[in-house]
């Protein structure tokens, strides 16, 4: 059987959540790099896989799944050797699903509202209200952390999804460490995952660097 193909970019937080999950579950992936800045995601070939033109997307022997949250649930349910990542119990699952929606609908959305105009719209603005709105995400997650992990004392898909976004946000706009001790301790715990730097941190750093250099070059173009 051939490996699952993952269409992704190292820069993409949702893409990194999929890579972290597959790594934990020992699922080999064939990475198909998608260069967002070159517009690979708007080409016909990719649009056939995902008309919403977002990465990540997987192709598992012809089964196409898009959206990182759907993908990591699929991987855990279909191939999960580690039951604890998405336990088969409706209450725990509901709590994990709630955190996946928090990531998708709040944390990552607020991050993308900041970077998309820079990446795709030629903007050089650093709108303070968007930054404040994004930082409010730290508060929301910190408030939800009552145990070692987002849902109880074992790592679940909720943690993997949120850490890919929160680590990126923290590189873009570092959080006030004294304000969010629970969040800082959770990030430290998550950073002990196998291959964390390679699969998550490096992408966060690279993304922030590229975004800032594009912002500056957009600003220079605006002056000319």
Supply angle C-alpha 55, 56, 59, rounded to 5: 120
Token reading at 153: 């004392």
Where do the H-state alpha helices sit in the chain? 13-24, 44-49, 68-79, 90-102, 108-121, 128-144, 157-172, 181-190, 196, 202-223
Catalytic residue among 2, 12, 123, 217: 12
Work out how close the CB of 132 gets to ligand GSH at its nearest, in angstroms, rounded to a whole number.
Answer: 22
Q: Is residue 191 annotated as a catalytic residue, yes or no?
A: no
d(CA 91, CA 192): 27
Q: Rule CB under 6 A: is residue 104 a binding residue for ligand GSH?
A: yes
Q: Per DSSP, what are the bridge partners of residue 4? A: 29
Q: Rule CB under 6 A: is residue 156 a binding residue for ligand GSH?
A: no
Containing 21, the helix (H) or strand (E) segment is helix 13-24
d(CA 7, CA 87): 27
Pick from 10, 29, 40, 53: which binds ligand GSH (CB under 6 A)? 53
By CB atoms closer than 10 A (0-12, 13-18, 19+), residue 100 is buried
Pick from 4, 12, 22, 141: which binds ligand GSH (CB under 6 A)? 12
Pick from 14, 87, 137, 203: which binds ligand GSH (CB under 6 A)? 14
Shorter beta-carbon distance to ligand GSH: residue 77 or 83? 77
Work out how close the CB of 162 gets to ligand GSH at its nearest, in angstroms, rounded to a whole number.
Answer: 12
Q: Rule CB under 6 A: is residue 41 a binding residue for ligand GSH?
A: yes
Q: Rule CB under 6 A: is residue 201 a binding residue for ligand GSH?
A: no
Please answer whether residues 57 and 66 qualify as being in contact, where contact means their C-beta atoms are separated by less than 8 angstroms. yes
Please answer whether residues 13 and 157 qualify as being in contact, where contact means their C-beta atoms are separated by less than 8 angstroms. no
Work out how close the CB of 69 gets to ligand GSH at its nearest, in angstroms, rounded to a whole number.
Answer: 5
Q: Rule CB under 6 A: is residue 36 a binding residue for ligand GSH?
A: yes
169-188 positions binding ligand GSH, by CB under 6 A: none
By CB under 6 A, name the binding residues for ligand GSH: 12-14, 36, 41, 53-56, 67-69, 104, 112
Which residues participate in catalysis according to the annotation?
A: 12
């Amino acid at each position: 059987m051939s490996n699952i193909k993952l269409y992704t970019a190292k820069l993409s937080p949702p893409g990194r959540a999929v890579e972290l999950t597959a790594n934990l579950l020992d699922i080999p992936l064939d990475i198909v790099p998608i260069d967002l800045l070159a517009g690979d995601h708007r080409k016909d070939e990719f649009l056939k896989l995902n008309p919403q033109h977002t990465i990540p997307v997987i192709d598992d022997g012809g089964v196409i799944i898009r959206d990182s949250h759907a993908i990591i649930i699929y991987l855990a349910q279909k191939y999960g050797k580690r039951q604890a990542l998405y336990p088969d119990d409706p209450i725990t699952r509901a709590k994990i699903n709630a955190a996946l929606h928090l990531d998708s609908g709040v944390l990552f959305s607020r991050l993308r509202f900041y970077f998309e105009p820079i990446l795709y719209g030629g903007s050089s603005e650093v709108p303070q209200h968007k930054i404040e709105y994004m930082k409010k995400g730290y508060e929301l997650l910190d408030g939800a952390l009552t145990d070692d992990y987002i849902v109880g004392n074992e790592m679940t898909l909720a943690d993997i999804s949120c850490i890919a976004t929160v680590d990126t946000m923290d590189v873009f706009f570092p959080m006030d460490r004294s304000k969010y001790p629970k969040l800082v301790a959770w990030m430290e715990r998550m950073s002990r995952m196998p291959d964390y730097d390679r699969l998550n941190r490096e992408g966060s750093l690279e993304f922030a660097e590229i975004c800032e250099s594009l912002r500056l070059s957009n600003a220079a173009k605006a002056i000319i």
